[in-house]
Amino acid sequence: MALTKSAPQEGTPHSERGEGAPPGPRGRVPQGRVPQGRGSQGRGSQGRGSQGRGSQGRVTSPLVLTLVLLLLVTFQGPVRRALSAPVMQSWTTVFVAVVVQALPFLVLGVLLSAAIAVYVPPSFFARALPGRPALAVPVAGPAGAVLPGCECASVPVAGALVRRGVTPAAALAFLLSAPAINPVVLTATAVAFPREPRMVVARLVGGLLVACVMGWLWQRLGRTDWLRPPRHAPHEGATRGETFWNSVRHDVMHAGGFLVLGATAAATLKAIAPQSWLRTAAENPVVSVLALAALAVVLSICSEADAFVAASLTQFSLTARLAFLVVGPMIDLKLFAMQAGTFGRAFAVRFAPATFVLAVAVSVLVGTVLL
């Protein structure tokens, strides 16, 4: 009895079986083979088409820039008339002056801060500080004066110190002093206040006092369950060069945005705010100090640039502007968020208000004595 091969299933393409592959059971595709029918091809092309349409409809930065330039060209007449108004000319003058003066110090501070964070090992600080917390605090406070860095970098460095076994009181004193009294900040203050060299001394003394007193207060009243040490170092796994440039790019964009915000606020107060309001606030010593301290918290300007914003607020007294310079590098909105993310919310909600109150009090005391 002769055996005959069964005919291929009707409607099944020859390519489904493969060249030279034995036929599978009726109605089934051999293992490892995927049907490539017209329906699946249609669905695949439809998915690719919808994906392409999604990417084409997405708004990108070049598109936004092109639209803005087209709007400026289209409405150049009204824009030119608006910019030629006396109020806008005053606003533009203050804004450009603040940004141009502050930008070199901001970039220099970011470069030095990134270099220290990447190339100086945290174990160096652990070896350099005394073992006793009461003595480590006054050593860590002045150490911030010789290590340039903005507040964006001081929080990760302080976290690395705690993780390497440095007493938290000393690490917190360094956290507050490094962005407030380092050489770049003091040089920028001297440039911003060329006729008031006392502001440099007052800022140095005020920042150092707040840092050391807060370190001692934490040593005396702080609890270990309030502080959550960070578990790993930032940029873990990257090379030193990659970490350096990533830190520089991040800090320049981050701090530059806050610099623009601060310059905008200073120019607006100078050009648009009614002079009677500013005089009323400036003539009251208590209101002026509290107003500029609160403004420093809200604006969150990088410490390398805040002196130029403070110098532009000529309506206010030197003591009020000193409060702006002492409070800003120690507690503002971005610092509160960074402290909460690094050390925990239980730490930030206690440490930040205490720092604000102490910074305001020390500013008034130092300003009364030195200014």
pLDDT at position 1, please?
A: 44
Average pLDDT over residues 249-256: 72
pLDDT at position 184, please?
A: 86
Average pLDDT over residues 13-33: 47
Query: What is 26-79 written as a DSSP string?
Result: TT-PPTT-----HHHHHHHHHHHHHHHHHHHTS--HHHHHHHHHHHHHHTHHHH
By CB neighbour count within 10 A (0-12 exposed, 13-18 middle, 19+ buried), where does 69 fall?
exposed
> In angstroms, what CA-CA distances link 112 with 107, 130, 161, 244?
9, 25, 18, 10
Residues 6 or more apart from 239 whose CB is under 8 A from it? none
Q: Please, are residues 347 and 339 in contact by the beta-carbon 8 Å criterion? A: yes
pLDDT exceeds cutoff 80 at 10: no
pLDDT at position 141, please?
A: 86
Give the residue from 10, 15, 20 showing the smallest Cα distance to 34. 15
pLDDT band, very low/low/confident/very high, at 149 (cuts 50, 70, 90): low
pLDDT exceeds cutoff 60 at 278: yes
pLDDT band, very low/low/confident/very high, at 236 (cuts 50, 70, 90): low
Per-range mean pLDDT, top range of 60-64, 65-69, 79-83, 129-133: 65-69
pLDDT at position 238, please?
A: 66
pLDDT band, very low/low/confident/very high, at 254 (cuts 50, 70, 90): low
Q: Return the minimum-mean-pLDDT range out of 56-70, 208-222, 273-287.
A: 56-70
Average pLDDT over residues 246-262: 74
- In single-letter form, the type of residue at position 293 comes to A
Instruction: Look at residue 12 and give its three-state secondary structure.
Output: coil
pLDDT band, very low/low/confident/very high, at 353 (cuts 50, 70, 90): very high
Distance CA 237, CA 292 (A): 42
| Percent of the chain at pLDDT exceeding 70 | 75
Q: Please, are residues 126 and 161 in contact by the beta-carbon 8 Å criterion? A: yes
Average pLDDT over residues 226-234: 62
pLDDT exceeds cutoff 70 at 223: yes
pLDDT exceeds cutoff 90 at 213: yes
Average pLDDT over residues 111-140: 76
Average pLDDT over residues 224-233: 66
Average pLDDT over residues 62-84: 79
Q: What is the pLDDT of residues 321-340, one digit of tens each?
A: 999 999 999 988 778 877 88
Average pLDDT over residues 148-162: 69
pLDDT band, very low/low/confident/very high, at 286 (cuts 50, 70, 90): very high
